[in-house]
Amino acid sequence: MGQAKSYAERLFKFAEIGALNTADATLAINVPANNENVEVELAAIDSIIAVTQGYPYFLQEWGKCAWDVATASPITAEDVENASREAVAALDEGFFRVRFDRLTPAEKKYLRAMAELGPGPHRSGDIAQQLGRPVASFGPVRGSLIVKGMLWSPTHGDTAFTVPIFDEFMKRIMPGDSWQTN
């Protein structure tokens, strides 16, 4: 019975929403601005796409912050750079922190170890090595993080964050190396 799908699950198809390609990300930035008679320089668009990796919500947040910072049209790469601190703070509090607060201490430590390795994906063995324990001991933690939507497995034995720049957030929220001893 635990494997049975609910009526709602059978009714609806759930589409995976990933990063937008460059053309679609460019449209996502340009169309709303153009609708308000504002231009966005190509260098500004490229900068937003690079930092957000095309992730739709992050595109919106960076676009909003660049809009708020810009004093005139066109919005420039400098405007985007000046807006980045505000965009990161908004994502930290309104996006990343909400997810982080639902994690157990063991899950936080696992994600912080992953962050130490960079954006990923990473081999499960490399993460375990960061934590100084056998890979088999982390199966339940890894599984729980996948169920919570924090991680996914792009290929057998690999683990990746489900959203870009989460590794950077983990380093900000758990700075230094004290996470290794907790």
Question: 101 and 65 in contact (C-beta within 8 Å)?
Answer: no
Dump strand ranges (E) for 9-146.
122-123
* Total domains present in the chain: 2
Instruction: Look at the alpha carbons of 148, 151, 155, 156 in this order and tell me if their dihedral is positive or negative.
Output: negative
**In the chain, % of residues over pLDDT 70:** 90
In-domain check, residue 142: yes
Q: What is the CATH number of the domain that holds 45?
A: 1.10.8
Distance between CA atoms of 76 and 48, rounded to whole angstroms?
A: 11
pTM of the full predicted structure?
A: 0.81
In-domain check, residue 12: no
Domain boundary residue among 70, 100, 130?
A: 100
> Tens of pLDDT along 54-101?
999 999 999 999 999 999 999 999 999 999 999 999 999 999 999 999
Grouping H, G, I as helix, E, B as strand and the rest as coil, residue 35 is helix
Q: What is the CATH number of the domain that holds 132?
A: 1.10.10.10
> Tens of pLDDT along 120-161?
899 998 999 999 888 888 889 998 998 898 998 888 888 999
Examine the domain organization and report whether 96 and 112 are in the same domain: no
Distance between CA atoms of 113 and 126, rounded to whole angstroms?
A: 9
Distance between CA atoms of 68 and 80, rounded to whole angstroms?
A: 10
Residue 3: pLDDT over 70? no
Residue 141: give the domain boundaries. Answer: 105-180
Examine the domain organization and report whether 94 and 28 are in the same domain: yes
Say how far residue 69 (Cα) sits from the centre of its chain: 23
